[in-house]
Structure 1
Amino acid sequence: MTTSPEHADVPAQLRLIVAQWAVDLALARYPIRAARLRELEAMAARSEDLVEARRTVAEIGRILDEAFTEAGIERSPA
């Protein structure tokens, strides 16, 4: 039995979808944290100050690290 190329990565794609869903659920469990993440994302998008942007992105990273840990998902390096 052969697998066509378009179907070869289906299991990997499903794992990725489930992992993202688990992280989204971890974020949604804490509405204040989710709101802070949205606020930080908006701040990063409009920031013109490099120092402020780096500080904002670092906090986004910490929030995402927490969510990945809670979801039991290993976060791959950027």
Structure 2
Amino acid sequence: MNLLTITLNLLTISLSPLTIGLSLLTITLSPLTIGLSLLTVDLNLLTIGLSLLTIGWSPLTIGLDLLTIGLNPWKRTCAIPAC
């Protein structure tokens, strides 16, 4: 249940649990997600993002990164693609 969702998109494709978005601004308060991203692929529990800024609280994720792969409740964040 989303309390607040603000999205400024260039491209968003949503097919029930699959969502592919190419966005510049994404703000979701559920409980908290703020993202400035170039590419985000969200498949239910799996999230793969190529982003410039991601702040998430699920339970807590703060990253300035190029690659983010999240598989709840585990999340992997690395600042460079080589890691």
TM > 0.5 between the two?
no
Higher relative contact order (CA 8 A, sep 6+): 1
Task: Calculate the TM-score normalised by the size of structure 2.
Answer: 0.22
Structure with the higher helix share, 1 or 2: 1
Task: Calculate the TM-score normalised by the size of structure 1.
Answer: 0.22
Structure with the higher strand share, 1 or 2: 2
